[in-house]
Chains A and B, each alone.
Chain A
Amino acid sequence: MSSWWSTCALCPRLCRTSCPVATGSAREAAVPTLIASAMLAYERGKMSREEAAEAVSLCTDCGACQRRCHIDRPLPQALRDARRRLLNAPPIEPLRTLEGEGDWVAIEADERPLAQALAKQLGQPVRRWRTGDRLGVGAVEHAVWERQAARLRSHVGDGRVVVADGGVAHALSASGIGFSWLHEVVRGLPLGDGSCRTDGDRPLACCGAAGPLPLHHPEEAERVGRMWLARADEWRVSDARCRDHLRRCGGEVQDPLDALLEMQREG
């Protein structure tokens, strides 16, 4: 009857405090302990594959459940492995061509002109790389990622990559591609107050924009976002993905790129 999931499944659900999905969605099924229980039931043949897949996708992959676990269970990795087994990879859009010239490459994941703003700031040409699906980050946990990672590596070549978006950053990290955040290249831009996983010890560190949650449960991701907005001291984030998500949830959220564009507008 024992399995890897047993220890988590028998725990008194202490990880619920740190889990943004369990807190924001209010769903008991989203408590990491209950996700482990679902996996245990699935392994015992008492839960369907679809239900187990639903359970393991109630996750932003923020890792807070492990960081705040009293016995440091590597639940996030176990959930990634389970998702790889139980979920199909989402489609990945073809990579777009890099536009322009220069050593720097700015990856634009939304409508804002990151490359142009960066070029102006650096006084150098910056190549523009647009992506509509954050370089296919939704598939990062799946077997198809190996090929996507290779494609990304060859696409970017030896350019100095700058990002403003957490999804893009995650895709690059998972492909072994080095990059800099916008706020690291342009100093002095205001950052968020610890959201967006920049502060690992903070509970409820994710606003719901990351991981499989927005892909598989957009309505729950919105609830997590609204919870974050209700509890945040200031509506400033360090990550464009969170900015977009939180704006969809009704918050007038600013990120470092907003600050840079505003600064340039004001001369």
Chain B
Amino acid sequence: MKTEAPRGVRSSTRSLDLTAASRDLWPGGTLDFWQGREAPRPERVFWPESEEEVAEVLTAAAEQRVPVVPYGAGSGVCGGARGRPGAWVLDTKALAELGPVDETRWTVEAGAGVNGQQLEDWLQKHGFTLGHSPSSIWCSTVGGWAAARSAGQFSSRYGVFEDMVLALRAVSPGRGVFQVGEDGDAPDDWMPLLLGSEGTLGVITRVRMRIWPNPETRWLRGYRFSTVEAAIRAMRRLMQGELWPSVVRLYDPVDTRIGGKTKPKDPKARSGGNRRFLRRWLAEVDKLPSLRKRSLVLPLALPGLVNRIFDRVATGCLLIVGWEGRPAVVEALSKAGHKLLCEEGEDLGPEPGERWFQSRHAVSYKLMPIFERGGFADTMEVAARWSDLERLYEAVRDAVRETAVVMAHMSHVYPEGGSIYFSFAGRGDATVYQRTWDAALEAVLRVGGTVTHHHGVGHLKAHAASQEVGPAVAGWRALKAELDPQGILNPGRVYVDAPYRDPGPAVEVGLADGIVRTEPRRPLVERQARAASLNGELMWPWETLPPPPRWQRQPWQVGAVEVAGRVESKRCRLGRGPRSAAGPDLRDWLQKQDSRATVTEVLAPPGERWLGRGRPKAPWEVARDLLRHDLRPAILTVRDGELLVGFRGPAARSLGALAGAWVPGGLQEIDWESIPFPSGRLVPCSLDDPDVVWVLPQGAYKRGGDR
């Protein structure tokens, strides 16, 4: 069928452009490309330069029922932006407006097509950072980050990408141009569904984000642990102790061994681990071109054997930890963290951390020689709560060990769990590739993890994500019917029809997992009592759940972690990992849908506490400034004109002393008490408004404005 393109929008049907837009960075597509199999080619590529032009394209597509694939920089590794025969590709890169940056409020806006590193370079010139540093930062866009719910390497300090988003503008065939979040004209509860929707609900055109001043100092250090179990324990204590490192990266024994990561970089020492041997071997092989292209065929044909050899020779694992920000805060946090880590770990000094920092974006391009040499390489990032992490790690390794050489690291951790990032390499055969993925995803679902932490879903994980979400997919479908009634937006991506898979009953949890199961409609006092029965307290005691929308919270303050409920009498459990990017976030929708849904909330374990009070002249302004000084108090409020600032964990006292030094008139220590956080939707107000109840680095808020 011949389609008619809107004339006013730049577009191309040139073969060169269609071929370029037919492929993203999904390694399965790379394998096809390398082996000479044609990627499905779209019919036309558009480069709209305004929201009006995006709307024109979508209207024309909807009228003619033409599928539309939104495309940023094509860095997705799950095939979410790969070509589709007969489709129109809507390339967002011409939506490239940088700024404005609001240096008073600490926000920035950018067009969806702005390249990540270009945005960061530009912000740095203004003295700010976004704090978002995915390894794809050189080859991804702001719109892509939002659409696929990206996470960067400093997520434990700055949050994952959806924590940074204050407002989104988007266009859909059913609604036209709209904005959600701050100053939004669309319902607030669209935001968690649009983030992670990968172009299936609308085309994101512009994003407003929080920013932070460039960190004044950075502290990085490596620690060696004898077992993965001991290292996981240390990470958990770090996060539950509210020490908020900027970097936490644990390499499993194989990754540590291959990367030579625990050895000092001394040419005289036997540095480099097995990587040095591999490099030499490959360098020798490369001298013979006929051998080069098949040099990895043999080892990758026997992955079971290679995995067994690695298991034998690999012992010990490397943990890299870092803090950044204001020197005094970094000193207080890193001192407490270092002491904690040295209880079971061996201090390797700053060198491993600094080495990682220098090459932190290198992973992606280091995989290409494997394709050239007859193999495939891919990565899978999954997540689970603390008590399931080791089981998840072993289950995935066992599932793929006969088809691929596998190693892993953990690079995103939270008080309530963490993610595991598996790297695998196998024989360059499409069937082996598919078998490896099927087995890996099945293992994740079996163990109860989430199938994707920050790579999105695309088409690769669409089936598994649909099974993970189960009948709650109805929440996405309902919004899709409104925004995309013709179903033209990126069909077949994110969610597909998949047979129901019972997730099992909601499990009881406790202090070790850092989460407690509560009934969200019960009053806070009852939820706190439940936490107390586990010898803890709620880390973020929201008066009611769900808490204020994400853009009105600090990046590290979460609401419900897992929501367990029923849709059409079928069980579903969302948020099995501490953070899941398995498509849109449907947890709030499920809570609204099922009045009997239960949730898990984050627990603060027993330990040191420090609470102080003071009477500065402008208490909310001082509170805002404490946040801008990089402090992350567990309590920060004003009661009867008194500023209350509280900290938990091993650094509580030293952080309290710092806060006291920064508050005019100082802070006087008082007995600890948990103070409720306000819930519901808040509205921005001035810092001296008498009704202020909440403060962020971006300003003050008062109650009201339900929508």
Contact = CB atoms under 8 A, between A and B. Distances in A.
B16 A51 contact: yes
Contacts of A16: 73, 115, 138-139
A14 B139 CA distance: 5
Contact of B93 (A26, A37, A70, A71): A26
A227 B138 contact: no
A157 to B, nearest CB: 45
Nearest to B17: A29
A28 B364 contact: no
Interface residues of A, number: 36
B74 to A, nearest CB: 6
Interface string A23-43: 100111101001001100100
Interface string A92-109: 000000000000000000
Interface stretch (A1-9, A141-149, A177-185): A1-9
Nearest to A54: B16
Given A1-B34, A1-B293, A203-B118, A14 B19 contact: no
Contacts of A85: none
Contacts of A38: 16, 19-20
B699 to A, nearest CB: 28
A13 interface: yes
Interface stretch (B227-235, B329-337, B365-373, B607-615): B365-373
A83 to B, nearest CB: 15
Given A17-B115, A28-B74, A28-B91, A2 B293 contact: yes
Given A26-B94, A28-B20, A11 B365 contact: yes
A117 to B, nearest CB: 35
B292 A2 contact: yes
A17 B117 contact: yes
A26 B372 CA distance: 29
Contact of B365 (A1, A23, A71): A71
A17 B47 contact: no
A3 B160 CA distance: 39
A70 B365 contact: yes
B550 to A, nearest CB: 29
Q: Is the interface of A mostly helix, strand, loop or mixed?
A: helix
A187 interface: no
A162 B445 CA distance: 71
B136 interface: yes
A155 interface: no
B19 A41 contact: yes
A10 B366 CA distance: 10
Contacts of A64: none
A2 B20 CA distance: 20
Given A10-B30, A34-B20, A26 B118 contact: no
B625 to A, nearest CB: 30
Given A10-B372, A38-B19, A203-B121, A26 B113 contact: yes
B282 interface: no
Nearest to B45: A28
A44 B93 CA distance: 29
B98 A231 contact: yes
A227 B122 CA distance: 14
A91 interface: no
A230 interface: yes
Contacts of A231: 98, 122
Contacts of B100: none
B365 A17 contact: no
Contact of B36 (A1, A14, A17, A34): A1
B313 to A, nearest CB: 28
B277 interface: no
B496 interface: no
A181 to B, nearest CB: 27
Given A7-B372, A26-B96, 15 more contacts: A1-B35, A2-B372, A6-B34, A12-B139, A12-B365, A14-B361, A16-B115, A28-B17, A28-B71, A29-B19, A34-B20, A47-B15, A203-B121, A230-B96, A230-B97
23 contacts: A2-B293, A7-B368, A7-B369, A10-B34, A11-B368, A12-B25, A12-B139, A12-B368, A13-B73, A13-B75, A14-B365, A23-B115, A27-B17, A27-B47, A28-B71, A29-B16, A34-B20, A38-B20, A46-B38, A51-B15, A54-B14, A203-B118, A203-B121
Interface of A: 1-2, 6-7, 9-14, 16-17, 23, 26-29, 31, 34, 37-38, 41, 44, 46-48, 51, 54-55, 70-71, 203-204, 227, 230-231
6 closest residue pairs by CB, A with B: A26-B93, A10-B368, A28-B20, A29-B20, A26-B94, A14-B138
